[in-house]
Structure 1
Amino acid sequence: MANSSTPDELVRVVRSPSDKRDYQHLVLKNQLKVLLVHCPDSSKAAASMAVNAGHFDDPSHTQGLAHFLEHMFFMGSQSYPEPSAFNDFLSAHGGQHNAWTGTEFTNFYFDCNANALEAALERFASILKEPLFSNEWVQKEKQSIESEFRLKQKDELRRLYQVHKVTANQNHPFSQFSVGNLNTLKDDEHGTLQQKLVQFYRDHYSANQMQLVVAGPQSLTKLADIIQKLFADIQNHKKPKLSIKAPLYTAEQKGLFLQVRPLKKAYRLILTFPLPGIDQDYRNKTTSFIAHIVGYEGPGSLFNCLRDKGWINSLSAGGGISGSNFKDFNVNIQLTESGRKNITTILQWVFAYLGKINTDGIEDWRYQERKVTSELSFLYQEPTPVGELVSQLSINAFHYSKVDIIYGDYRMDGLDHDYAAKLLALMTPAHSRITLISPDVETNLKAPIYDTEYSVTKLTESQLDLFTRSPCDFNAMLPKRNRFINERLHPQPLESENALPTCLSSSDLMELWHLQDNEFRVPKGHIYLALKLPAVTSSAYYFAIARLWSELIIDALNDDLYDAEVAGLHFNIYPTQQGIVIHTTGLSEGQLPLMSHLMKRALLLKFAHRRFRDIKHTLVANWQSAHQNQPLNKLFAELNQQLQPGLFRLPELANQLLSLSFREFTQALEKMFEPVYVQAFMHGDWQSQQADRLATLIRENLPTQQPAAKDRETVKRVGDFLSKTLEVPCSHSDNAVLFYQQGNNDSEQEQVCYMLLQQLVHQPFFHDIRTKKQLGYAAGSQYFPIQRLPGILFFIQSNTASTDRLTTEILNSLEQLFVQLDSTPLKAWHHSKSVLEQQIRTRDRSLRVKSQRLWGAIQLGDTSFNRQLRLLDALDKYQLADWLSDIKQKLSQNSGWLRLQTTSQGK
């Protein structure tokens, strides 16, 4: 091994004190860069290969080729030629794979049970070294690319993105079509599509342009041996990566005003400031610091002032595309209808505020506050699942130094005043690109591919002059010192070794559960307050009012609690199937005062009539447009609504708010909060005395003394449906079908029965419907429990097949699969049980995950908190003959199946 790697393996990776993983960098003899991660407590292992090639490398004659190659990579290799070989192996070993293609990088990654890592890596390496690119599957898989394209052809972000591309420098690779479709992926005078794939692979998939990350419980030495054996022979073509010379925009493409007409009603204003690439600034994060000030939402902020005028609903800063030689710094504003009429003044405010930041905002104490919160986030970050970790680190390796592969996301060394001044000097009207998105804009052009209607004009000298004038009433202020910043770095001392929550208080009106966590010793926590309010779920009318009230509360409290959010204290308020939940999370110091503030103000707040109107309109617009372009999601939503009590269709909720007056709203609120029953859970490093304080807070702030019933409403049963086929109107051109079967009860054996069914059929079903028959991009199956009542669903969305054909194909596929179950080998049965056992045994990977699990158990009344053990016991006792008997009976009951399908609505 000593001769196979460079001294880079000695580099020490900066990591959080709570990170128990070990890291080692290697560079193999073929110049492949490798990071090994030893995860001592992980039952899963994972690997990711990032390649410094993306759609920017597409040949102009075959746009979308990099994306297509990503699809084809998992379609067989010389050693494992079956197109589903890798997927089948991972599925059989508790894993999955995925990939994505970006502008300059492509990322392939997978996870699996730890004991299968070496065999999985052997297959992964084979794919990377000798992809098959079978012409049979090239022809089939390009249909999948077409389906993916069609699936998102009406996606508003993609439509806007295409306008962005056609108005940028056409000599820059950003201008090319990245997804690809049947029009771009074809044979021509440049060669067959298969030949182009092979050439692209040879040109760009070189070991010196790759970064491999492997994580698992195996020792670093063992991981290094495996990697050396399997990956040292990846070809190194020694071609340097060519840098992009062309600028993203020419001079003529700055100082522009673009107008874009959306498909659905929306009002948005985006200011884009073209900047040079910022990779070299990761140690200082200057753009992130400026974005924080621009997007600040506390008292006197730009957002606050514009919102108080009734012109905007949201404002964010800093997002935008970035690459090796460019960065778009965006100020993204969601407008109200009134704001749409005041675009010029809003732009004046934004430019005046940027000027104020330039003169008064670049101060070290502001930067230091951001650094403190970033350091706390780093110190107490929650462990990332290995599958996500490897993918993230393989990309980080191209942007950060080896020591900073983790810390680079958080590192803030100090404020670079000169660089900040240079960036702010570029944030002027003459250097900007201003995009207005509105249904009433004037357009005279249509972007290709997505048919987006738009117009583009050069800003005139008079407009440039006008935008630089400060409004006469401009009074926006920069952020003041954050009173919520907390530097307590250690959790409170443990009172006991209790491993399970304890009920500290119980009455007809409330119950409070508490757990001081002895596993995740961090100064963080979660407080859940669930208000069971029968009025909220009694009708769509009251549920819509509860959602509007929740949004108004969050909006009204934003001013005085935004600093708390910045300092790591977060809150949310939202309606559920039972009533309303208040949830606080983050650093434990300050959460009790935060919860006290929320509870005391929630029922006393008086809302501004204008904010009521604006937020109501936003909710109605969102609900009316939800799932318009997502047929399959519409079926999922309908299934949930049909089965779960207390849920309502989004269009129905929108209709309830349409004519709702402010007076009706305030009158309805008086009835909404009685009767009530409060269920609460405090989990983190808090001691019992702090839980007692929470109990007192709840009692003192109850909206009524009239108790609500504690029982939950039961899940609706499929057997009670008069019709087993539900048609769901949909205007999208795609068709979708979903089959669902429900269990008879919520016993552990019944749950395990359906889990095993999913384990055994999901991969062959996907292969048959999606890969073999190419019926659609979105297809599969899913274990689908509702309040622990088990079930399974099978689904497909297609841009080519009718719902009748989709139904026939699903039924045919299921019939074949269910026949095959009869001959399930004992070895396959034990293997499936073993995989499922490992999934059930999975430990809580973070305080957040543990809190969610325990809170879910409390809400379901499962206060023994031993569901995992009960499921394992049921799984252990289940024999193949008994399971086959059970599942055969379920599958033969036609009354057990519920079918949902889209139906034409103006298609």
Structure 2
Amino acid sequence: MQLSKNDKRAYLHVTLANGMRVLLINDADCRKSAVAACIQAGHFDDPYNINGLSHLLEHMLFNGSKSFPEADSLNQFLSPHGGSVNAWTGTEFSNYHFDVVHSKLAEGLTQFADMLFNPLFTEQAIQKEINAIDAEFKLKIHDDLRRLYQVHKETCNPQHPFSQFSVGNLQTFSEHAIEDIQQALKSLHKKHYVPNNIALCVISAQTIENLQSQVEASFSHFQAGNEFIRPFPAPLYLPEQLGVKISIKPIKDARRLIVSFALPDSQLNCASKPLEFISHLLGDEGNGSLLAHYKRENWATNLSAGGGINGKGFKDFNVNLQLTKAGEDNISDVLNSLFYFLQLISENALETWRIKEKAILGELAFEHIENAKPIDDATQYANQMFFYDEEKILSGEYLITDFSIAPIEQCLSYMTPANMRLKLISKDVNTNKVAKWYDTPYQIESLHKDLLNTLASPKPIQDIQLPSPNPYITEHCAIAEVDERFLLPAKIIDTQHLRVWYAQDKDFEQPKGDCFISFDCAAVTQGAKISAYKRLWVALMVEHLNDQFYHAGVAGLHYHIYAHQGGFTIHTNGFSQKQLALSENIVKQTLADIDLTPLFEQVKQKQLQSLQNSLLNKPINRLFARLSGLVQRHTYAPLELLPHIENARIEDMYWLRQQLFENYSIEAFVFGNWTIEQANGFAQRLKALPKPTQTSSPIKREVVDLKHSELYLNEVISQHPDSAVVLYLQTPSANIKDVALTILVEQLLASPFFHEIRNEKQLGYLVGSGYLPLNQHPGMVFYAQSPNFSSQQILAEIQSFLTQITADIEDYREVWTHVRASVAKQLEGNDTNLTAKAQRLWLAVGNKDLEFNLQTAIANALINLNFDDIISFCNQITDSLSFGTLVLYCAGNRPDDIPAKGTNIFDLAEFKAKANFII
């Protein structure tokens, strides 16, 4: 198996006697064990008369098995041991995955195997899960992606399995007797859920030998089934479904053009990756690029290339454009530019150096890959076992090993006007059809032959050119010698307006690093207008910098600028060799007087569209956005920002810049593969930059004190018909013990809350809880969104659950120590990768945790808790003098519904103006 040079994991690929392929991975540093099983079965395997059966099958596997008949038994087992389980069903594959503390892996595998191979399929559970799927369907009924997807299905070959309705709902299932559905589930399961049709990946700190024996004990006794070879389907598109324009009317404000080309199976060219090469060129955003041309003409503001549906025998290649109104009015010119660029690629880009440059980028990414979460890696590797042989399971997604141009030429040969499908998504289009299930208005029509002929010989465009060699590609990947004095952040500059911290890494041995430069600006305390302008100005700066530094990101040297409560932060990360120079350049441009006029209207419209569309998000998303803006002093809800963005002028941006840089301070952190000399040099160059007129102290990150009131209520108006509630409980204090108790109690309640509200009460598909610190003040949230119940009913059930839990807290005496040990171990565990470590240390700097041991301190506090502490904490949850309580709700299609009595918040600004704040 081909490994990257920095990979410290150990691997073993085995095939059990029953044909199950297994990849075992020993990772001594991972916090939890992770397991994923990929099954070659998906929506394409649904019977034509029972749409959504594979989706229902996925749900049914969680509803009891032969040896573990209790519904949700695996999740109930995993939850006290720091784990969780989830699944997804795709077109041709399904994936089931879980994680758990290392010591419970063997038990988890035993239950997981029984869940996969011995489901019960009881009639009662089938009916319950049909209702759950219907709630999931209703949750997404106003999701524009789902609505677009359904139009795609209706405009392809009805004989291809992609055309079928894959989600399922109450209507599709109610056409059949439960007994018939039960038998269909058993037949589908028997055909596909057999060991020789499954790939399994296990990642753990346990030895390979232990993992192998545990997998064999759990899976080897299941019998192989008949070999399944997926047949080639009918063509995805009929001839009359190519060379067409499909006009689609969305719910959210959008202007998008998706140009799709129909190709054969993309997996045939894994070694040469021709589509990735073409995407690399089409998606370029530097000067001279296709996107730069579109921006100059004011036709489009964003372009992405690649993606699209794919499977055995078919592949869509998409070019996705965010159009302006002018772009929508000039579609033929937009297309001419695209086809001219494709012609440039075909005639001038198939040079050896370009292919080798793309290969070098892939090799750098693979050789210096950073581990993801074990459960994410396990899920990915289980899938890749179906597409790559053992040698390339890890490397196949990255490396180009075939440098021939023939595969690229072959792919380009399909990218013709006659072989394309245009999807124009806009509220201004004319439509004459309505897609089933999601009621999406659309129209499909053939493109005029004159247009197709014109595009086949596109007019030349002078300002479009192919990219030059990338100057940011890392040439030297040497690892700096580690200085033991700087294994934790140390302050290397401390002046009135500038503090610079520095630390090295010796854990990951990567030629990479992270550099954070945060500006705290006194002006942000002036209210919502400044915050709105700051958001717009940051977006303008990102757009301005992208033209210059896009190729840095392509080469693995990334930059981000983001607004926060105190001001904004510049964050660079990736390869260290040229990174500090990039950071310094960005800071200089940020402080410089730059003419942003050419970008202003485009960026302003994008920000307006984003804010307006956020008001159409599903209710739960709306409620969490409001929660953040309501409780944090210098954070504002989208509704508060929108009028200021609408009225903003370019002159306001220059005024805003003057306000920000008149009174500010900088906190910076350099972490990774740099010596102290390099860090000092960078710090001195920051120090030499123009200084502020005044020096601001760091802005306090305060939150509203919600305690001492019976209940606060805030209604969020939503156009979505679902009702939704978020109940936020603000913990009495932010001391270490209360933080530990909040984390522990939420973990104790998470699984029973989900089981009670989602599975037993069936209030809705979107149900959950979480530990939610706002500005580091601890808190918990409990939430649910429902198509069938009012917000009053949802809140009553949440409150009933919390009251009952308080009464029944003794029931948790047996499991609480397991949960405590699991949470403590996770807190004390190693960082997943270099960037995760950088983020943790940077957060500690911001929180003034200058011992850099907050997680260890919380873990120690957890270990010192006793069950009486849990009882006392839970008894306070319903006490308004101890816990602050805020209920945010959307009434949905029940506008007169008021969920509870309490103090209503009608004016957000007035509420904050009168509130008491805590740090």
TM-score by length of 1: 0.96
Corresponding residue for residue 532 of structure 2: 544
CA contact (8 A) 1:552 1:607 kept: no
Q: For 2:740, give the aligned amino acid.
A: V
Q: Of 316, 327, 335, which aligns to 1:339?
A: 327
In the TM superposition, 1:829-868 aligns within 5 A as 829-868=816-855
> Which of 521, 535, 558 pairs up with 2:509?
521
Matched, 1:812 2:792: no
Q: Residue in 2 aligned with 1:374?
A: 362
Deviating more after overlay: 717-726 vs 272-281: 717-726
2:491 counterpart residue number: 503
Q: How big is the alpha-carbon RMSD for the aligned residues of Structure 1 and Structure 2?
A: 1.7
- Which of the numbers 191, 212, 230 marks the counterpart of 2:218? 230
Counterpart among 2, 11, 20 of residue 8 in structure 2: 20
Any unmatched runs of 5+ in structure 1? 1-12
Conserved 8 A contact 1:286-1:415? no
Find the counterpart in structure 2 of residue 803 from structure 1.
791
Q: Secondary structure at the match of 1:258?
A: strand
State which of 733, 749, 760 in structure 1 corresponds to 2:748.
760
Letter in 2 for 1:623: L
Once the two structures are TM-superposed, the CA of residue 487 in structure 1 deviates from its matched residue by 2.3
Once residues 740 and 336 of structure 1 are traced to their aligned partners in structure 2, the CA distance between those partners, rounded to angstroms, is 40
Question: Which among 845, 854, 858 is matched to residue 871 of structure 1?
Answer: 858
8 Å contact from structure 2 (residues 33, 102) kept in 1: yes
> Which one-letter code corresponds to 1:836 in the other structure?
V
Amino acid corresponding to residue 869 of structure 2 in structure 1: D
Partner Cα distance (1:882, 1:346) in 2: 65
2:135 matched to 1:147? yes
Q: Could you say which residue in structure 2 is the equivalent of 1:219?
A: 207
Confirm or deny: 8 A CA contact 2:301 2:324 kept in the other structure. yes
1:267 aligns with 2:255: yes
Of residues 279, 293, 315, the one that matches 1:305 is 293
Q: Distance in 2 between matches of 1:189 and 1:312?
A: 51
2:724–2:892: 8 Å Cα contact kept in structure 1? no
Q: Distance in 2 between matches of 1:627 and 1:192?
A: 43
Alignment of 1:405-424 (within 5 A): 405-424=393-412
CA distance in 1 between counterparts of 2:699 and 2:532 reads: 23
Output one character per residue of 1:789-819: Cα deviation in whole Å (capped at 9) or x when no partner. Answer: 2111111110000111111111112221121
Which residue does 1:160 correspond to in 2? 148
- CA separation in 1, counterparts of 2:467 and 2:884? 59
Measured in 1, the distance between the counterparts of 2:471 and 2:776 equals 43
Q: 1:819 to 1:279 in 2, by over 3 A?
A: same
Number of matched pairs: 894
Greater displacement, 505-514 / 16-25: 16-25
Change over 3 Å in CA distance of 1:721–1:428 after alignment to 2: farther
Residue 898 of structure 2 is matched in structure 1 by none
Report the secondary structure of 1:874's partner residue.
Answer: helix
Residues 23-64 of structure 1, C-alpha deviation per residue, up to 9 Å, x if partnerless? 111111111111111222323111111100000001111111
Label 1:703 to 1:65 Cα distance change in 2 as closer, same or farther (>3 A). Answer: farther
Listed as ranges, the matches of 1:680-695 within 5 Å are 680-695=668-683
Q: What residue ranges of structure 2 are gaps of 5+ in the alignment?
A: 896-919
3-state SS of paired residue (1:228)? helix
- Residue 39 of structure 1 is matched in structure 2 by 27
Using the TM superposition, give the Cα deviation of residue 676 of structure 1 relative to its aligned residue in structure 2, in angstroms. Answer: 0.3
8 Å contact kept, 2:479–2:673: yes
The equivalent of 1:119 in structure 2 is 107
> TM-score when scaled to structure 2?
0.95
The separation in 1 between residues aligned to 2:53 and 2:18, in whole angstroms, is 26
Partner of 1:673: 661
For residues 699 and 64 of structure 2, the distance between their equivalents in structure 1, rounded to whole angstroms, comes to: 53
Paired residue secondary structure (2:574): strand
Matched residues in 2 for 1:325 and 1:607: separation? 50
Residues of 1 paired with 2:650 and 2:708: CA distance? Answer: 39
1:891 is paired with a residue whose SS is: coil
Q: Which residue of 2 aligns with 1:90?
A: 78
> Aligned residue for 1:494?
482
Are 1:57 and 1:104, in contact at CA under 8 Å, matched by a contact in 2?
A: yes
Q: Shift of the alpha carbon at 1:652? A: 2.0
User: Residue in 2 aligned with 1:580?
Assistant: 568
**For the residues of structure 1 that align with 2:710 and 2:863, how far apart are their CA atoms?**
38
Shift of 1:283: 1.4
* Aligned counterparts of 2:107 and 2:554: Cα–Cα separation in 1: 45
Matched with 1:81 is: 69
Asked if the contact 2:54/2:89 (under 8 Å) is kept, the reply is: yes
One-letter amino acid of the counterpart of residue 82, structure 1: E
Identity value in percent: 36
| 3-state DSSP of counterpart to 1:332 | strand
Does the aligned pair in 1 maintain the 2:565–2:701 contact within 8 Å?
A: no
Contact 1:753 1:887 in 2 (8 A): no
- State the SS of the aligned residue for 1:315: strand
* 824 and 269 in structure 1: CA distance in 2 versus 1, 3 angstrom threshold: closer
Matching residue of 1:444: 432
CA distance in 2 between partners of 1:761 and 1:67 (Å): 28
Whether 1:398 aligns to 2:398 is no
How far, CA to CA, are the matches of 1:363 and 1:252 in structure 2?
36
The worse-fitting range, judged by mean Cα deviation, of 425-434 and 192-201 is 192-201
- Whether the 8 Å CA contact 1:187–1:193 is kept in 2: the answer is no
Q: Is the contact made by 1:498 and 1:518 (CA closer than 8 Å) also made in structure 2? A: no
What is the CA-CA distance between 1:374 and the residue it aligns to?
Answer: 1.2
Report the Cα distance in structure 2 between the residues aligned to 1:547 and 1:706, rounded to whole angstroms: 23
Q: 507-516 or 881-890, which moves further after superposition?
A: 881-890
Confirm or deny: 8 A CA contact 2:604 2:645 kept in the other structure: yes
What is the CA distance between 1:719 and its match in structure 2? 1.9
Q: Is the 8 A contact 2:150 2:435 kept in 1?
A: yes
Three-state SS of the structure 2 residue aligned to 1:485 is: coil
Provide Cα deviations, 1:584-614, integer angstroms capped at 9, x if missing partner: 1110011111112111222325345342001
Pick closer, same or farther for the CA change 1:778–1:190 going to 2, 3 Å: closer
Task: Please list, as runs of the form range in 1=range in 2, the aligned pairs for 1:186-335 lying within 5 A after superposition.
Answer: 186=174, 188=176, 192-335=180-323
Letter aligned with residue 157 of structure 2: N
For 1:230 and 1:520, the matched residues in 2 are separated by 34
1:626 and 2:614 aligned: yes
Q: 1 CA distance for matches of 2:481 and 2:577?
A: 14
| Matched residue, 2:917 | none
- Following superposition, the deviation at residue 721 of structure 1 comes to 6.2
> Residues 239-282 of structure 1: CA distance to partner in whole angstroms, max 9, x if unpaired?
33231231111111111111111112211111101110011211
Partner AA of 2:818 in structure 1: H
Tell me, what secondary structure is at the counterpart of 1:211? strand
Inter-partner Cα distance in structure 1 for 2:492 and 2:807:
53
- Residues 422 and 823 from structure 1, CA distance in 2 versus in 1: closer, same or farther, beyond 3 angstroms? closer
1:453 matched to 2:441? The reply is: yes
Query: Is it true that 1:604 corresponds to 2:592 in the alignment?
Result: yes
Bigger shift: residues 680-689 or 33-42: 33-42
Within 1, Cα distance between the matches of 2:232 and 2:817?
54
Once the two structures are superposed, what CA deviation does each residue of 1:174-230 show, in whole Å capped at 9, x if it has no partner?
111111111112352795222221121112212221111112122222211122222
Q: Distance in 1 between matches of 2:29 and 2:596?
A: 52
Counterpart Cα distance in 2 of 1:479 and 1:862? 45
Q: Distance in 2 between matches of 1:226 and 1:806?
A: 43
Instruction: Give the stretch that moved more between structures: 703-712 or 652-661.
Output: 703-712
CA contact (8 A) 1:537 1:579 kept: no
Contact persistence 1:542–1:672 (CA under 8 A):
no
Residue 711 of structure 1, CA deviation: 4.9
Q: Deviations over 1:285-315 (max 9, x none)?
A: 1110011011111111111111111111001
Aligned to 2:458: 470
- Kindly provide the amino acid, as one letter, of the partner of residue 320 in structure 2: N
Match of 1:9 in 2: none
